[in-house]
Protein backbone atom coordinates (compact mmCIF):
# COMPACT_ATOMS: atom_id res chain seq x y z
CA UNK A 1 0.00 0.00 0.00
CA UNK A 2 2.79 2.31 0.96
CA UNK A 3 4.47 1.59 -2.31
CA UNK A 4 1.47 2.31 -4.50
CA UNK A 5 0.80 5.55 -2.60
CA UNK A 6 4.40 6.48 -3.29
CA UNK A 7 3.92 5.76 -6.99
CA UNK A 8 0.74 7.81 -7.02
CA UNK A 9 2.50 10.74 -5.48
CA UNK A 10 5.24 10.51 -8.06
CA UNK A 11 2.67 10.53 -10.83
CA UNK A 12 0.91 13.61 -9.43
CA UNK A 13 4.24 15.35 -9.14
CA UNK A 14 5.04 14.54 -12.77
CA UNK A 15 1.74 15.96 -13.92
CA UNK A 16 2.12 19.27 -12.16
CA UNK A 17 5.69 19.59 -13.40
CA UNK A 18 4.51 18.96 -16.92
CA UNK A 19 1.67 21.44 -16.65
CA UNK A 20 4.00 24.04 -15.30
CA UNK A 21 6.54 23.40 -18.05
CA UNK A 22 3.76 23.72 -20.63
CA UNK A 23 2.59 27.00 -19.18
CA UNK A 24 6.14 28.35 -19.26
CA UNK A 25 6.48 27.23 -22.88
CA UNK A 26 3.16 28.86 -23.78
CA UNK A 27 4.35 32.12 -22.26
CA UNK A 28 7.62 31.84 -24.17
CA UNK A 29 5.80 31.20 -27.45
CA UNK A 30 3.51 34.15 -26.78
CA UNK A 31 6.45 36.39 -25.90
CA UNK A 32 8.18 35.42 -29.11
CA UNK A 33 5.04 36.23 -31.10
CA UNK A 34 4.58 39.44 -29.15
CA UNK A 35 8.06 40.55 -30.16
CA UNK A 36 7.40 39.79 -33.83
CA UNK A 37 4.09 41.65 -33.65
CA UNK A 38 5.66 44.63 -31.90
CA UNK A 39 3.38 44.35 -28.87
CA UNK A 40 5.79 45.82 -26.32
CA UNK A 41 5.32 49.46 -25.40
CA UNK A 42 7.09 51.77 -23.02
CA UNK A 43 5.52 53.80 -20.29
CA UNK A 44 7.50 56.48 -18.53
CA UNK A 45 7.44 57.44 -14.87
CA UNK A 46 8.58 60.95 -13.90
CA UNK A 47 11.54 61.27 -11.52
CA UNK A 48 11.55 64.55 -9.62
CA UNK A 49 14.01 66.68 -7.77
CA UNK A 50 12.65 66.58 -4.23
CA UNK A 51 13.92 70.04 -3.33
CA UNK A 52 12.45 71.86 -6.34
CA UNK A 53 9.74 69.34 -7.36
CA UNK A 54 10.95 69.69 -10.90
CA UNK A 55 11.16 66.89 -13.41
CA UNK A 56 14.72 65.57 -13.72
CA UNK A 57 14.05 62.59 -15.94
CA UNK A 58 11.91 59.51 -16.43
CA UNK A 59 12.24 55.77 -16.00
CA UNK A 60 11.19 53.69 -19.00
CA UNK A 61 9.00 50.75 -17.91
CA UNK A 62 7.97 48.14 -20.44
CA UNK A 63 4.42 46.83 -20.84
CA UNK A 64 3.04 44.13 -23.07
CA UNK A 65 -0.03 45.26 -24.98
CA UNK A 66 -1.93 42.11 -26.00
CA UNK A 67 -4.14 41.99 -29.09
CA UNK A 68 -7.22 42.40 -26.89
CA UNK A 69 -5.78 45.65 -25.51
CA UNK A 70 -4.82 44.18 -22.13
CA UNK A 71 -1.65 45.76 -20.68
CA UNK A 72 0.47 43.10 -19.00
CA UNK A 73 2.86 44.43 -16.32
CA UNK A 74 6.55 43.47 -16.52
CA UNK A 75 6.44 41.38 -13.36
CA UNK A 76 4.39 38.85 -15.32
CA UNK A 77 6.75 38.37 -18.25
CA UNK A 78 10.24 39.71 -17.49
CA UNK A 79 11.18 36.60 -15.47
CA UNK A 80 10.14 34.32 -18.36
CA UNK A 81 11.90 36.59 -20.85
CA UNK A 82 15.01 36.47 -18.70
CA UNK A 83 14.89 32.67 -18.39
CA UNK A 84 14.29 32.03 -22.07
CA UNK A 85 16.85 34.55 -23.28
CA UNK A 86 14.10 36.59 -25.01
CA UNK A 87 15.09 39.44 -22.72
CA UNK A 88 17.96 40.07 -25.15
CA UNK A 89 15.80 41.05 -28.16
CA UNK A 90 13.19 42.59 -25.84
CA UNK A 91 15.85 44.64 -24.07
CA UNK A 92 17.17 45.84 -27.41
CA UNK A 93 13.67 47.06 -28.33
CA UNK A 94 13.36 48.86 -24.98
CA UNK A 95 16.74 50.58 -25.32
CA UNK A 96 16.07 51.65 -28.90
CA UNK A 97 12.57 52.92 -28.15
CA UNK A 98 13.67 54.78 -25.03
CA UNK A 99 16.44 56.58 -26.92
CA UNK A 100 14.03 57.43 -29.76
CA UNK A 101 11.49 58.84 -27.34
CA UNK A 102 14.06 61.08 -25.68
CA UNK A 103 15.27 62.26 -29.11
CA UNK A 104 11.67 63.24 -29.97
CA UNK A 105 11.28 65.15 -26.70
CA UNK A 106 14.57 66.94 -27.22
CA UNK A 107 13.44 67.96 -30.71
CA UNK A 108 10.24 69.31 -29.07
CA UNK A 109 9.69 71.42 -25.99
CA UNK A 110 12.37 69.74 -23.84
CA UNK A 111 15.14 71.28 -25.94
CA UNK A 112 18.49 70.92 -24.26
CA UNK A 113 17.38 71.21 -20.63
CA UNK A 114 19.11 68.66 -18.40
CA UNK A 115 17.01 65.48 -18.45
CA UNK A 116 17.68 61.76 -18.26
CA UNK A 117 16.12 58.57 -19.54
CA UNK A 118 16.57 55.65 -17.14
CA UNK A 119 16.44 52.16 -18.65
CA UNK A 120 16.36 48.91 -16.65
CA UNK A 121 18.82 46.14 -17.47
CA UNK A 122 18.30 42.60 -16.21
CA UNK A 123 21.16 40.28 -15.22
CA UNK A 124 21.28 38.57 -18.59
CA UNK A 125 21.28 41.87 -20.47
CA UNK A 126 24.06 43.27 -18.33
CA UNK A 127 26.29 40.24 -18.83
CA UNK A 128 26.03 40.32 -22.64
CA UNK A 129 29.58 40.61 -23.94
CA UNK A 130 28.61 43.25 -26.50
CA UNK A 131 26.45 45.40 -24.20
CA UNK A 132 28.70 48.43 -24.49
CA UNK A 133 28.63 48.18 -28.28
CA UNK A 134 24.83 47.96 -28.27
CA UNK A 135 24.59 51.04 -26.11
CA UNK A 136 26.97 52.96 -28.38
CA UNK A 137 24.88 51.99 -31.40
CA UNK A 138 21.61 53.06 -29.77
CA UNK A 139 23.08 56.41 -28.69
CA UNK A 140 24.62 57.15 -32.08
CA UNK A 141 21.49 56.27 -34.00
CA UNK A 142 19.55 58.95 -32.13
CA UNK A 143 22.51 61.33 -31.76
CA UNK A 144 21.78 61.13 -28.05
CA UNK A 145 24.12 62.56 -25.43
CA UNK A 146 25.49 59.59 -23.42
CA UNK A 147 24.97 61.51 -20.17
CA UNK A 148 21.20 61.50 -20.87
CA UNK A 149 21.10 57.74 -20.50
CA UNK A 150 21.00 56.17 -17.05
CA UNK A 151 21.20 52.38 -16.91
CA UNK A 152 19.62 50.73 -13.87
CA UNK A 153 20.93 47.43 -12.58
CA UNK A 154 20.37 45.71 -9.24
CA UNK A 155 23.13 45.17 -6.69
CA UNK A 156 22.84 41.39 -7.01
CA UNK A 157 23.80 41.65 -10.69
CA UNK A 158 26.95 43.53 -9.71
CA UNK A 159 27.88 41.40 -6.74
CA UNK A 160 27.52 38.06 -8.52
CA UNK A 161 30.62 38.62 -10.63
CA UNK A 162 32.06 41.85 -9.28
CA UNK A 163 35.27 41.79 -11.32
CA UNK A 164 33.59 41.45 -14.71
CA UNK A 165 30.85 43.84 -13.59
CA UNK A 166 33.58 46.36 -12.81
CA UNK A 167 34.96 46.12 -16.35
CA UNK A 168 31.49 46.45 -17.83
CA UNK A 169 30.69 49.50 -15.72
CA UNK A 170 34.00 51.11 -16.64
CA UNK A 171 33.21 50.58 -20.32
CA UNK A 172 29.84 52.25 -19.88
CA UNK A 173 31.33 55.02 -17.81
CA UNK A 174 33.92 55.72 -20.51
CA UNK A 175 31.03 56.28 -22.89
CA UNK A 176 29.63 58.85 -20.48
CA UNK A 177 26.52 56.84 -19.62
CA UNK A 178 25.41 57.03 -15.98
CA UNK A 179 24.71 54.06 -13.72
CA UNK A 180 21.95 53.65 -11.14
CA UNK A 181 21.69 50.82 -8.63
CA UNK A 182 18.05 49.74 -8.52
CA UNK A 183 16.14 48.39 -5.50
CA UNK A 184 19.08 49.27 -3.27
CA UNK A 185 18.99 47.72 0.18
CA UNK A 186 17.31 44.47 -0.86
CA UNK A 187 20.50 42.66 -1.91
CA UNK A 188 23.78 41.99 -0.22
CA UNK A 189 26.22 44.62 -1.36
CA UNK A 190 29.82 44.46 -0.41
CA UNK A 191 30.59 48.01 0.61
CA UNK A 192 34.20 47.67 -0.48
CA UNK A 193 33.04 46.88 -4.02
CA UNK A 194 30.27 49.42 -3.92
CA UNK A 195 32.71 52.27 -3.38
CA UNK A 196 34.96 51.04 -6.20
CA UNK A 197 32.23 50.71 -8.81
CA UNK A 198 31.69 53.76 -11.01
CA UNK A 199 28.13 54.47 -9.85
CA UNK A 200 26.10 57.67 -10.09
CA UNK A 201 22.86 56.92 -8.28
CA UNK A 202 21.43 54.64 -5.61
CA UNK A 203 17.69 53.98 -5.80
CA UNK A 204 16.24 53.18 -2.39
CA UNK A 205 13.84 50.27 -2.74
CA UNK A 206 10.13 51.00 -2.44
CA UNK A 207 9.82 48.57 0.48
CA UNK A 208 11.83 50.90 2.73
CA UNK A 209 10.03 54.01 1.52
CA UNK A 210 6.54 52.58 1.98
CA UNK A 211 7.45 51.38 5.47
CA UNK A 212 9.03 54.65 6.55
CA UNK A 213 6.65 55.26 9.45
CA UNK A 214 8.44 52.34 11.11
CA UNK A 215 11.60 53.40 12.86
CA UNK A 216 13.64 50.51 11.38
CA UNK A 217 12.88 51.45 7.78
CA UNK A 218 13.46 55.12 8.49
CA UNK A 219 16.91 54.32 9.85
CA UNK A 220 17.67 52.29 6.71
CA UNK A 221 16.59 55.10 4.41
CA UNK A 222 18.59 57.64 6.39
CA UNK A 223 21.65 55.35 6.25
CA UNK A 224 21.33 54.79 2.50
CA UNK A 225 21.06 58.55 1.90
CA UNK A 226 24.18 59.27 3.93
CA UNK A 227 26.08 56.30 2.48
CA UNK A 228 25.25 57.48 -1.04
CA UNK A 229 26.23 61.07 -0.33
CA UNK A 230 29.46 60.06 1.38
CA UNK A 231 30.38 58.00 -1.68
CA UNK A 232 29.44 60.89 -3.97
CA UNK A 233 26.27 59.36 -5.41
CA UNK A 234 22.79 60.81 -5.84
CA UNK A 235 19.85 59.08 -4.15
CA UNK A 236 16.45 58.41 -5.68
CA UNK A 237 13.58 57.15 -3.52
CA UNK A 238 11.16 54.87 -5.34
CA UNK A 239 7.51 54.35 -4.52
CA UNK A 240 6.69 57.65 -2.82
CA UNK A 241 2.94 57.48 -2.20
CA UNK A 242 2.22 59.90 0.62
CA UNK A 243 2.99 63.51 1.52
CA UNK A 244 4.40 62.25 4.85
CA UNK A 245 6.93 60.06 3.04
CA UNK A 246 7.86 62.97 0.81
CA UNK A 247 8.38 65.27 3.81
CA UNK A 248 10.51 62.68 5.56
CA UNK A 249 12.63 62.01 2.49
CA UNK A 250 13.15 65.71 1.85
CA UNK A 251 14.22 66.19 5.43
CA UNK A 252 16.70 63.32 5.11
CA UNK A 253 18.24 65.06 2.10
CA UNK A 254 17.15 62.53 -0.51
CA UNK A 255 17.85 64.09 -3.92
CA UNK A 256 15.17 62.68 -6.18
CA UNK A 257 12.04 60.58 -6.06
CA UNK A 258 9.39 58.84 -8.07
CA UNK A 259 6.06 57.45 -7.00
CA UNK A 260 2.31 57.50 -7.38
CA UNK A 261 2.14 60.68 -5.24
CA UNK A 262 3.64 62.56 -8.20
CA UNK A 263 2.74 60.42 -11.18
CA UNK A 264 2.20 56.84 -12.28
CA UNK A 265 4.07 55.49 -15.25
CA UNK A 266 2.34 57.04 -18.29
CA UNK A 267 2.27 56.96 -22.05
CA UNK A 268 4.57 59.21 -24.00
CA UNK A 269 1.75 61.72 -24.60
CA UNK A 270 1.54 62.30 -20.84
CA UNK A 271 5.24 63.10 -20.60
CA UNK A 272 5.04 65.39 -23.62
CA UNK A 273 2.15 67.24 -21.95
CA UNK A 274 4.28 67.72 -18.81
CA UNK A 275 7.23 68.93 -20.85
CA UNK A 276 5.00 71.34 -22.76
CA UNK A 277 3.67 72.84 -19.54
CA UNK A 278 6.90 74.49 -18.53
CA UNK A 279 10.60 74.17 -18.89
CA UNK A 280 11.56 72.21 -16.88
CA UNK A 281 8.21 71.28 -15.35
CA UNK A 282 7.33 71.04 -11.66
CA UNK A 283 4.75 68.45 -10.66
CA UNK A 284 3.45 69.74 -7.34
Site for Mg ion in 11-50 (CB under 5 A): none
Least Cβ distance, residue 81 to Mg ion (angstroms): 15
> Angle CA(269)–CA(65)–CA(156) in degrees, nearest 5?
90
Which of 92, 69, 64, 67 lies closest to 80, judged by CA?
Answer: 64
CB of 45 to Mg ion, least distance (A): 9
Give yes or no for residue 268 binding ligand C2E (CB under 6 A).
no
Q: What does the per-residue mask of binding to ligand C2E show for 199-218, with x meaning CB under 6 A?
A: -------x------------
Give the contact letters, 107-136, x = binds to Mg ion (CB under 5 A), - = no.
-------------x----------------
Least Å distance, CB 277 to ligand C2E, is 21
Select the residue whose beta carbon is closest to ligand C2E and give its number. Answer: 259
Residues 103-142 interacting with ligand C2E (rule: CB under 6 A): 120-122
Q: Tell whether residue 259 is a contact of ligand C2E (CB under 6 A).
A: yes
Residue 62 as a binder of ligand C2E (CB under 6 A): the answer is yes
Burial class (CB in 10 A: 0-12, 13-18, 19+), 109: middle
182 touches Mg ion by CB under 5 A: yes
Q: What is the 3-state secondary structure (H, E, C) of the chain?
A: CHHHHHHHHHHHHHHHHHHHHHHHHHHHHHHHHHHHCCCEEEEEEEEEECCCCEEEEEEEEEEEECCCCCEECHHHCHHHHHHHCCHHHHHHHHHHHHHHHHHHHHHCCCCCCCCEEEEECCHHHHCCCCHHHHHHHHHHHCCCCHHHEEEEEEHHHHHHCHHHHHHHHHHHHHHCCEEEEEEECCCCCCHHHHCCCCCCEEEECHHHHHCCCCHHHHHHHHHHHHHHHHHCCEEEEECCCCHHHHHHHHHCCCCEEECCCCCCCECHHHHHHHHHHCCCCECC
For ligand C2E, the closer of residues 93 and 113 by Cβ is 93
- The 154-193 contact track toward ligand C2E, x by CB under 6 A, reads ----------------------------xx----------
Binds ligand C2E (CB under 6 A): choice among 238, 245, 257, 274? 238
- Per CB under 6 A, 61 contacts ligand C2E: yes
- Interaction pattern, residues 201-240, with Mg ion; x per rule: CB under 5 A: -------------------------------------x--
Footprint of ligand C2E on 27-56 (CB under 6 A): 45
Among 28, 39, 160, 241, binds ligand C2E (CB under 6 A): 241
Residues that bind Mg ion (CB under 5 A): 120, 152, 182-183, 238
Amino acid sequence: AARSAGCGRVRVFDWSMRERAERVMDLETNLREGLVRDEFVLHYQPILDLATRRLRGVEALVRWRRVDGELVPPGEFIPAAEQSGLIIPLGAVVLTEACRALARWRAGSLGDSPFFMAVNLSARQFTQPDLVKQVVTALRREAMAPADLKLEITESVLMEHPESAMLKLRGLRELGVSIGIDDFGTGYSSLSYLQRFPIDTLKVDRAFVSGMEEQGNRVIVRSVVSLAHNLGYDVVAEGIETAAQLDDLSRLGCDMGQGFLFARPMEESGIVALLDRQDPPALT
